[in-house]
Every structure is written in structure tokens, then in C-alpha cells.
Amino acid sequence: MFRRRRKTSDFSAEAEAHIQLEIDRLQESGLSAEGARAAARRAFGNVTQAQERFYEGGRWLWWDGLWQDVRFGLRMLAKTPGFTAVAVLTLALGIGATTAIFSAVYAVLLKPLPFRDSGRLVFIQKKNPPRGWTRNNVSAAEILGWRDQSGAFEDVAAFKQYSCVLNDAAEPEESPCEVASSNLFPLLGATPAMGRTFSGDEDKEEGPRAAILSYGLWRRRFGADASAIGRAIEVNHASYMIVGVMPANFSHLYASPYGTVPAMWLSGMGLSPTDTSNDSWGIGRLKPGITPRQAEAQMDGVSVRIEKMDPNLKGWRAELMNLRTMVSGDTRPALMVLMVAVIFVLLIACANMANLLLARGASRATEFAVRNALGASEGRMVRQLLTESLLIALAGGVLGVLLASWGCKGMAALAPQFLLHAAPDMAGGAADLNVLGFALFSILATTFLCGLAPALRSARPELTDALKEQGRGVGQSVRSRRFRAALVVWEIALAMVLLVGAGLMIRTLVELGRVSLGFNPARILTLRVPLSGDRYRQDRAQADFWERLTAAAQALPGVETASVSRGLPIDGWAGQFFTTADQPNPPAGHVPDANYGVVSPDYFHTLQIPLRRGRRFNEHDNETGDGVVIVNEELARLHWPGQDPLGKRLRPGSPNSGSRWLTVVGVAGDVRSWGAASDVHAELYVPYRQYPWLMPPQYLLVRTSSGLKPDGLISAVVREVHRIDAGLPVADIATMEQIAREPMVEQRMVMALMLSFAGLALVLSALGTYSVLSYAVAQRTREIGMRMALGAQRGNVLRLVVSGGVRLAVLGIAVGIVAALALTRLMTDLLFGVGATDPVTFGAVTAVLGATSLAASYIPARRAINVDPIVALRHE
Amino acid sequence: MSTQKAGERLELLQGTLDLLILRTLIFGPQHGQGIARAIQQTSEEELLVEHGALYPALQRLEDRGWISAKWGTSANNRKARFYSLTAGGRKQLVKETAKWERLAGAIGRILGRGAEES
């Protein structure tokens, strides 16, 4: 309807022409020039009125009004730069923070994965509820059974994680890779950037060996050369043909567990219906209309049938997870808490702005009264005021979006690594249209939320009062004052909730830090050396390598001890079965398991794990010595409660594995192998010189002498590795402290963000208190002067003002406590060692908030006691 | 346009003016002064149209797409804005005419009956 706008000048010309034509006609019929002009004008009527009607008839009036409002609003805002700056900045912080968090929520939880119809993709794992195991690998037998018999899937693809050593040319390199079934790529709807994906023929274990490169590996190792396709690549000393390259980012976006980012995919998955080893993951495409829960129910029927094949499958049931959820990990609670927190910040910013607008409205009361008296309607004035709010919100929003992109980068720096892989857009800020839309929405919501009430209030001036008191700073009505006080109470209450949230996170991190991990992570450098190829086919060759490496590392200057292990505390878990001599034939499904550490004698020394009973390993615990094992306290407690574990016997593997019996020679202190927040699990250690191992050692651990930083040793240690074998890659170089910190990254991120939100809330609510009280003091200058003239002491006046602030604070804190009690329960998942209603936190936060409110009231109170009674009484 | 019925009933005169304009334009393009003149003349000077009041009506009809306008030259060589009927306008004229006749008939009947009774 706005399609064309006829200019008013065009209409004027038409009216002019009309009159001219009429004059011509009248003159023709014999009138004089003068008479014709007069008659024509008479016939036309009021030209100006016609023009006005034409103008109002046009649908542009509204826009013109808006434009007028905008221009006027800009002038008014420019007149009070202080107010404008504070208001814009407040909103910019609120909108910026909200947009940043929303962009993370969107990237991590909402944005569909870039796969065909990705809502139907599920990640397939299995669980064993009676034994408390979840998210376990599945076997080929189960994958085939579920795919073909459950009727829930269009297709199921399988892959297993693998470690690939690229030993051709240049520097040897070890990268995570996956052996994938050929249908994985079509199932996802993912096409390679170049070349092709696997053929059905290549699925066979003995079929042609093919490899697909990730974009990253292709660029790094092949310099993005298109001729890489068709070339051979040597992986784990076997030759594969490169058949394709996947597009950038693909690796991150399908659900590799534990956030592993595969560098390459290999063919030869060879799914066999009789293979019951649990070494694969599944990705399924559900048939349309089937929910993951329905599919699970259908799959359970299949599981019941196939668990008869192998006792180890007993009790295991499929566990499906939406692929998006799987990729994002367990970040939902953290992000939800942050989203709620940041919306609170926005609400506080809003309340603050409403407060500012009200104060401003009061000082402009005369202006509104005059406009009202001159005929401006209430609606017209509300519109004017809302336009001003919109201008502030827009400016704040634009600034906020800029701040958000900056904030997103900060957040990305704090975020756990896997999250960045799973949601590469997380640091993108409002670059996404959906996020930008959200920012726009929050701008509009802010405008109405903070602008409407003040606008309605200001546009309804008490005309005569306002005009009477013209030029003297018009008093606010009682209702208006109450409203402003209510806003401040609301701000304090919201700030209280945020502070409690931040306080609980701080307490959580303190508690986590206080937990004894069971070892000392300080001054330890760790690195992994994957041994592969013919040279290390023999266990003995591997053991020799580790022995030489330990000795070499030990001899380096600045090294206190060095040792070898399979896995590291916190970083990896290698659960395996074992059988005790006391119960050699446990019922199927009840075979005990433990984390296996394959270690060198100095391991306990290096990590400073205390020995509770018996002895450590020594150099005699080798190939020729008796089989020995050290168990942790938890394992001893579980299997030999109240007995002496020393001398007890157990053997690795499942009951029928036939491995030799090992004698318990020591009991080591418990180590929190899953991080500070988790429980202690049964663990056992075997010496790395005794074979056969279930799993070979992989890591070198080096403890530096006190005062030396462990990362200073990296190049020296790597040099030693290459001195022994130049063809070996060195991977996962890290300090033990980094590894120990990793499980807390998420809590740290939440804590840092919550703390900044809470700080912002605190400042904003203090500003609110301050502005309301200073206004009240300004209003009551005369009263205060009178009181002082009549003999009131400065203390009395001080108390008068401060008590106003205290009342607001007490009310706000009371409301805040109630709200916090209700809301912090949402955080339970993120907390450790502290309850959601922790009285210490609540107490501390109350004190902080109370003190801040007092400080905010004190400044206006100072101003009040410095009132000179003479000046004050002349004030009005 | 059903949404306009209520408005038309309230502003009968305005609706009538629209109808008269459309009717006048059936004989070909005409400028504002010509339309005003024609209405006055054909109604044998019964209807006195304030020329200025014509323009909001013309603008409205143009907005609805029933008439279109462009600048041209009048018979006596004056620049003027000429209005002509669009296809939609023609349809509207037929509709409006029928409606008007029904309305006029109904009012006539009521008034006629009223006259008999008195």
C-alpha cells in the first residue's frame, strides 16, 4: 500500500491547473479575469484544506510522523548526552551479553547439523542399567541385528575409532582416524569435496584398501594438491589408496565420541553377524515418524534375541541419542543456566533504563504539559517517547551486537575444545541471521518493556501542577516514586539471583580444587608415543623401547623421575574384565572390571601415588618373574572386604581367557581417574615388563625437579624419542596439570560468565539505587533544609536517606532469596560439593549486595547532609 | 470489498461521489475540473460539488486502482492531470451502480410507503 507516493507539490500543481481551467471556462462564458479568478477559487473551496486532506489521505502520514519523532527524539537525546550514553551503554551490555550467549546456545543446541534431514539421525550406543553402564561401544552383531530386524531404521552405519600412524615420507605422524562402513557417508548425506566415498567392495576386510582424507589432513600433508586422489598412503605400515577428500569441518560435525576429530577414514569395516566384540559406534537414520524412544523399544526386542549368542551381550540394550545432542555433549544444562542468567542481566538493564526514562520524564513534565495544552494527544506523546526508547535501544543494540562478536570470541577462548569442534559457529557472534534476528527481537522487546510504562506515565502529566511549577523541577507523584522504587527492588532481586548463581559456581570450583586427586599433578610432563609396524610387533621390542626411553629421560638434566604407563589418570579409561581366584566363575553379566594400568616401577613414584600396603613393583617384576599385580584400595574393598588383599590372586580378562594368575603384592591409594567430580573406581596395575598385556603401554611421564617447569623439557624428551627411533611420532604432549584441569573447563567457563553477569548486575542495581535516592534527595532539598534549620543533626539526615536505600535493599534481597531458592535448583547438575541452597553462599551474597546498596545510598546521603539550610529554603 | 461496506454506509455521500466520478470517466479520460464540471452539468446543476472535495476522492480511487492518472494537455492547451477508468474501475462501476439502484429503490419504496400512510 505504500507503493507510490504522490508528492504534495504534484497535487498543488494539479489544484493550480484545475483552477486555471475553471478560470478559462468562466472567462469563455463571459466573466472578467478578476471575476473568473474569484469564482474559480470559490468553486474549488479552501485550497490549503484540500491539500491537508490530500496529505492525510495519503498513507504516509504515519511515516512522516515517525520521521518527525525520530528527528525530534535525536535532538532530545543529543541534548542530554550523559543520559543517552548511560542508557545506550547499559542496553548495549545487556543486549550484547544476551546475543553472545544466544549465539552459543544456537550454535550448540539449536542449529541443525549440515546433513540431509538431520533430525532423523541418531547416535547408537548401548547401556546396561543393572550394572550402571551407559554410553558403551556396540558390536557388529548388534549393529547388524538392529539394522535388519528392528524395523526402526532406514539404514545404520558403523565406525570404530582407530589410531593411524602415517609413516610415509617426512615426519611420522599419528592422528585419530576411523574405520567406517561405506554407507556412513550416504547415510549422513555428506558428499566428498573431491573424489568418492567407499564402495561396497571396500567394506570387506580383505577388500581393496581405501582411505578418505579429512580436509585438514589433505591440506597439511598434501598441500591441498588435487592429485592426491589415487595416490597411495601408508597407514600403520599398510598401503591404502586415497579415494576422496571430505569438505572442511565435516570431521567435527558428526558424532565422534569424546570430541575426537578424525583426520582420515579407512575402509574395511567388515561387519560380521558373529562378531560380538564391543568396538564400534553406530549412526542410524530413523524411518520417518519413528522417535528415538520407539526405536529403542523395537531394538530391545532384537537385543533379547541376540544376547543368547554371547554371554557378554547379556543385559545390554540400545541407547539412542539425537546426533545434535551427541555432538554437543552434555552442555545443555550449562548453556540453559547461562541463558537464564543473561536474560536476567537484560531485564536488569531494562529496569535500569525504565528508571532513567522515568526520571527524565519527570524533568520533562513541563514540556509534556505544554505540548498537551497545545493539543498533542496522549497517544501522540506516548509514540514520541517510545520512539526515543527505540532510538536508545537501537543504538544499544548495534553496539551490543558488536560487543557480542567480541564476547563470543572471549567465550570461545573459555569453552571446552570439543564444543568448538562441535559448534564451529560458536565464536561467530551475530554473523548468523537467526542470531541477528534474536538481537533485533531483544531490541524491540527492550523498547516496549522499558519504554512503555515510563511513556504512559510521562504522557499523562497533571497539567496544572506541572505548569504551575514550571522551571523548578517538577515533583513526581507518589505513584511514580513507588514505581521507581519497585524497579530498583526488582533489579536488586535479579542481581541477588545472579550473585547466588556465581557464588555457587565459585564454591563448586573451590570444592573441586580441594578434592585430593590421589596423585600430585604438579611438574609432570606427559606424552604419548604410539608404536606400530613390524619393528614393534613383539611385546618384547615394545618393552625394550620403553625401557630405553625411560632411562634416557631419567638421565636428562632437571628430571626427577620418569616412568611409563598405559593411560593417564583423568585422561583415559581402559576398563577390562578380571577374575579373582576367590570367585573364578562369576555369572555372566557379573564379571568384575577395573581400570588397567600397565606401568613401570617408578609410576607410583612419579605421580606420587601413595602405597597403602605391600610393595611397589621393582626390576625383578619382569618377563621371568612371578606374575604380580597392585590393586587400589577400592578394588580391595570391593572384592576382599575385611581381608588382607596381599597374596590374593586374580587374572586379567574374562573368566575363560586362560591368562595366568597374578598375585597381589601391593595396595595403592585411590586415584580419581575420572576427575575430581567423579567417584573412585576399582583399578589395578601390572608391570609393563610382564606379558602378555591386554593393552600395551603408551605414555611417558616425566616429573621435573622442583622449581622447573615441565613444558621446558618437551624438546629434550622428543629428541630422546627420535634418538631411539626417528620414525616414531610423538603425540598428545601435555602437562598433568592441564589434563587435571580439563574436566573443569566447562564449570570454569560457566563460573567466569556467571561472575561477569553478576558483576554487571551488581553495578546496574547499585546505579538504580543511587539514581532513585539522589532524585529523592534533590526533591526533598527543601524539606531537609527545613529539618536542619529546626535542629536535625547530620546523623539524622544521613539516616533518613540511607534508610530509604536500606528499605529497597532489604525488600530486593528478600525477593531475591525467594527467587534464588526456586531457581538455583536448575544449576544442580553443574554444582559439586555444594548444595543449590548453600547458606554460606546466600549469606555472603546478601552481605555483598547489602554493602553495595549501602555504598550506593551513602553518596546521595552525603549530598543531603551538605545541604545548606539557607540555600535549601531559598530553593523553591 | 466487504471490509468497506460499513464505511460506505456511514459515509454515503463519499461513496456517492466515487460512483459519480467513475460514471463520468466512462466517456473517456478527463481532468479534475472536467469531472467536476461534468457532474454539475449532467445532474442539471442539482449536485453542487465543491471542486476541492473531489481530489481526496480521486486520490482514494487511484489508490485502489480503479482509476489511473497521468499528466497531459487539455483542449485549450493547459497542462492537467487526466484520470481514466481502469478495468477494475469498470467492474467497480457496475457493482456500485447496481448497489446504488438497490439502495435508491429501497429508500424510494420506504419513502413512498411513508407518504401513503401520512
Q: What is the helix (H) or strand (E) element at residue B46, kind and residue range?
A: none
Q: How many domains does chain A have?
A: 5
Q: Residue A526 — pLDDT band, cuts 50, 70, 90?
A: very high
Do the Cβ atoms of A576 and A563 come closer than 8 Å? no
Number of H helices, E strands in chain A: 28, 23
- Of residues A416 and A86, more confidence is placed in A86
Residue pair A730/A721 in contact by the 8 Å Cβ criterion: yes
ipTM: 0.76
Mean pLDDT across the stretch A732-755?
Answer: 87
Report pLDDT for A846: 95
Residues A628 and A674 in one domain: yes
Q: Which residues of B touch A14 (CB under 8 A)?
A: 32, 55, 80-81
Q: Among A108, A99, A98, A91, which Cα is nearest to A436's?
A: A99
pLDDT of residue A184: 93
pLDDT band at residue A875 under the 50/70/90 scheme: low
Q: Is the peptide bond before A687 cis (omega within 30 degrees of 0)?
A: no
**Closest chain A residue to B79, measured at CA:** A17
Q: What is the set of domains in chain B, with CATH numbers?
A: 11-117 (1.10.10.10)
The grid cell for B94 is: 457496475
Domain-embedded: residue A289: yes
Give the residue numbers in A contacting B (CB under 8 Å), as ranges: 1, 6, 11, 13-15, 17-22, 24-25, 43-47, 49-50, 53-54, 57-59
| Residue B50 contacts A where some CB pair is shorter than 8 Å | yes
Are B55 and A50 a contacting pair at CB < 8 A?
yes
Q: Is residue A736 part of a domain?
A: no
Asked if residue A457 is part of any domain, the answer here is yes
Question: Could you say which of A292, A307, A328 is where a domain stops?
Answer: A328
Domain boundary among A268, A295, A328: A328
Cα separations (Å) of A744 from A335, A676, A739?
15, 9, 10
* pLDDT, chain A, mean: 86
Domain shared by A136 and A236, yes or no = yes
Q: What is the pLDDT of residues A663-678, one digit of tens each?
A: 999 999 999 887 888 8
B56 touches chain A (CB under 8 A): yes
Candidates A44, A51, A53, A55, partner chain B, best to mutate (most B CBs within 10 A): A44
For residue A641, tell me if it sits in a domain. Answer: yes
Nearest chain B residue to A4 by CA: give it: B63
Query: Is residue A637 included in any domain, yes or no?
Result: yes
Q: Give the distance from residue B51's alpha carbon to the nearest chain A alpha carbon, in angstroms.
A: 4
Q: Is B68 on the interface with A (CB under 8 A)?
A: no
**CA A766 to the chain's CA centroid:** 29
| pLDDT in the model for residue A161 | 86
**Taking a C-beta distance cutoff of 8 angstroms, is the pair B86, B66 a contact?**
yes
Same domain, A108 and A210: no
Domain membership of residue A524 (yes or no) is no
Q: How many CA atoms lie within 13 A of A392 on its CB side?
A: 37
Q: Tell me, yes or no, whether A421 and A505 share the same domain.
A: no
Q: Give yes or no: residues A716 and A819 share one domain.
A: no
118 residues of chain B, pLDDT tens digit each? 333 333 333 334 556 788 888 888 988 888 888 888 888 787 766 666 777 778 878 888 888 888 988 888 887 788 888 999 999 989 988 988 888 888 888 888 888 765 444 4
A30 vs chain B: nearest CA distance in angstroms? 16
Domain end among A285, A300, A328: A328
Between B68 and A43, name the one with better pLDDT: B68
pTM, to two decimals: 0.73
The whole domain housing A491 covers 476-515+744-876
Rounded Cα distance, A235 and A265, in Å: 11
* A178 and A311 both lie in a single domain: yes
User: Are A583 and A723 found together in one domain?
Assistant: yes
- Answer for the pair A749, A426: CB distance below 8 angstroms, yes or no: no
Please tell me whether residue A476 adopts helix, strand or coil conformation: coil
pLDDT of residue A600: 93
Mean pLDDT is lowest, of A156-160, A268-272, A683-687, B100-104, for: B100-104
Contact in structure between B85 and B26 (CB atoms under 8 Å)? yes
In a domain, A100, yes or no: yes
User: Which pLDDT value is given to residue A339?
Assistant: 92
A50, B56: Cβ pair inside 8 Å?
A: yes
A246 falls in which pLDDT band (50, 70, 90)? very high
Query: What pLDDT score was predicted for residue B2?
Result: 36
In a shared domain, residues A552 and A631: yes
Q: If 0-12 CB within 10 Å is exposed, 13-18 middle and 19+ buried, where does residue A811 land?
A: middle
**If DSSP codes are grouped into helix, strand and coil, which group holds residue A662?**
strand
Is the minimum CB–CB distance between B64 and chain A shorter than 8 Å? no
- Spatial distance between the Cα atoms of A805 and A769, rounded to a whole number of angstroms: 7
Overall average pLDDT of the A490-498 stretch: 93
- Residue A688 sits in the same domain as residue A786: no
A548 and A689 fall within a common domain: yes
**A229: Cβ contacts below 8 Å, ≥ 6 apart:** A194, A195, A242, A243, A244, A245
Contacts across the A-B interface (CB distance below 8 Å)? 66
The answer to whether A17 contacts B80, with C-beta atoms less than 8 Å apart, is: yes
Query: Residues A466, A340: one domain?
Result: yes
User: Do A561 and A697 reside in the same domain of the chain?
Assistant: yes
Q: What is the CA radius of gyration of chain A?
A: 38
**A734 in a structural domain:** no
Give B7's contacts in chain A (Cβ within 8 Å). Answer: none
The 3-state DSSP class for residue B1 equals coil
